[in-house]
Amino acid sequence: MTDLELFKAAKKAMHFAYAPYSNFRVGAALLTKDGKVYTGANVENSSFGATVCAERTAFVKAISEGHCEFDTIAVAASSGEAFPCGICRQFIFEFGDHIRVVVGSDEESIKSYKIDELLPHGFRL
């Protein structure tokens, strides 16, 4: 799957976001090492700390289905670029410093970074 195809899947997932407080919709599409794609959308909560980001939603779906080896995650937002937040960066890093993160404000502007570029010196036990 190309970065563009994965980004388009993230944009599609964005439409399922529950974002009544910020109205900032985010979608993610996570590619496993064996080629399966899991999507996620952000789910807000009136207790803001209980909000779940799109990236973690996609990871949790994949992990709960038995996948723990990942290649790339694409993130799309309702406006502008949406890089993973700090918690999501650490969550992604947990599964490998090689995972690529694809972001962009539209299909013509997508860029790719390795997670260790976005989170240098990530935490490991």
Mean pLDDT of the chain: 97
Of the candidates 5, 55, 94, 108, the residue annotated as catalytic is: 55
Residues 39, 10 contacting (CB under 8 angstroms): yes
Per-residue confidence (pLDDT) for residue 65, from 0 to 100: 97
C-alpha angle 119/123/125, rounded to 5°?
A: 155
d(CA 48, CA 69): 30
Band of pLDDT at residue 114, cut at 50, 70 and 90: very high
| Homologous superfamily of 3-118 | Cytidine Deaminase, domain 2 (3.40.140.10)
Per-residue confidence (pLDDT) for residue 82, from 0 to 100: 94
> Where are the chain's structural domains?
3-118
- Our answer to whether residue 55 is catalytic in this structure is yes
Residues 82, 28 contacting (CB under 8 angstroms): no
Per-residue confidence (pLDDT) for residue 16, from 0 to 100: 98
Structure tokens at 76: 């799309």
Residues 30, 59 contacting (CB under 8 angstroms): yes
Q: Could you give the strand order of the β-sheet that contains 26-32, starting from the edge strand earlier in sequence? A: 37-41, 26-32, 70-77, 100-103, 111-114
Per-residue confidence (pLDDT) for residue 113, from 0 to 100: 98
Span 46-63, pLDDT tens digits: 999 999 999 999 999 999
Mean pLDDT, residues 10-27 taken together:
98
Span 65-106, pLDDT tens digits: 999 999 999 999 999 999 999 999 999 999 999 999 999 999
Q: Which helix H or strand E contains 77, and what residues bound it?
A: strand 70-77
